Amino acid sequence: GAMGGSASLIPRDLLGEYQELTFLSKQEILLAYKRFSELLPKEERESACSVRVPKSHILTLPELRANPFQHRICHVFSTSETGDDSMSFEDFLDMLSVFSDSATSDIKSHYAFRIFDFDDDGTLDRKDLEQLVNCLTGQGEESRLSSAEMEQLIQNILEESDIDRDGTINLSEFQHVVSRSPDFASSFKIVL
């Protein structure tokens, strides 16, 4: 019947596999599938498990539309060969899994680090931190920091976090900082 018809579009063995590979429940996976296939043109919905959704469509999701790191999130979770940041259903599930309440804070901090590493070079340097602060404070004129304020803030972040004093924050330094901020994991989430 029409009820629950969409559930049958994920083959049962895949559904089991998705549950094992993610922190998501069966219900969450089915909901994710529904939301993902709704981003596709009608004629492609049948094959939602095997097509890619362009980044521009992913960004229409209200959960991402409001996220200051929306572009980085698409970039980090996309497995697109061409670098267009499009997402497959599995990419989409990976993203939701990392942002779910059930993901460990280790996993969350690992991905947060990758999202904040704007130039993808494996460390957070001053330039990454500047972009990070700009994302968080908003791009509006009135909310932007002066260069002196920015300098001071980055100085403070490095003081707090750069344990080996090399001028950048590496993953383990970042995870150390995050481990001391109890609200990090709860703020780092997307729930459909």
d(CA 112, CA 126): 17
Provide the strand spans (E) within the chain: none
In the chain, the number of structural domains is 2
Beta bridge partners of 169: 124
For residue 8, the model assigns a pLDDT of 56
- What are the tokens at 70? 């929306």
Segments forming the whole domain that contains residue 115: 105-187
d(CA 109, CA 91): 18
Residue 1 has pLDDT above 80, yes or no: no
Record the pTM: 0.90
Tens digits of residue pLDDT in 112-158: 999 999 999 999 999 999 999 999 887 677 778 899 999 999 999 99
Q: Do 20 and 62 share a domain, yes or no?
A: yes
For residue 11, the model assigns a pLDDT of 87
Q: Say if 4 falls within a structural domain.
A: no
d(CA 108, CA 100): 9
For residue 143, the model assigns a pLDDT of 77
d(CA 72, CA 112): 10
CATH number for the domain spanning 149: value is 1.10.238.10
Beta bridge partners of 96: none
Tens digits of residue pLDDT in 51-79: 999 999 999 999 899 899 999 999 999 99
Cβ distance 61 to 129 under 8 Å?
no
Q: Say if 1 falls within a structural domain.
A: no
Give, in order, the Cα–Cα distances in Å from 141 to each of 27, 118, 134, 154. Answer: 43, 22, 11, 19
Q: Do 22 and 92 share a domain, yes or no?
A: yes
Q: Do 16 and 95 share a domain, yes or no?
A: yes
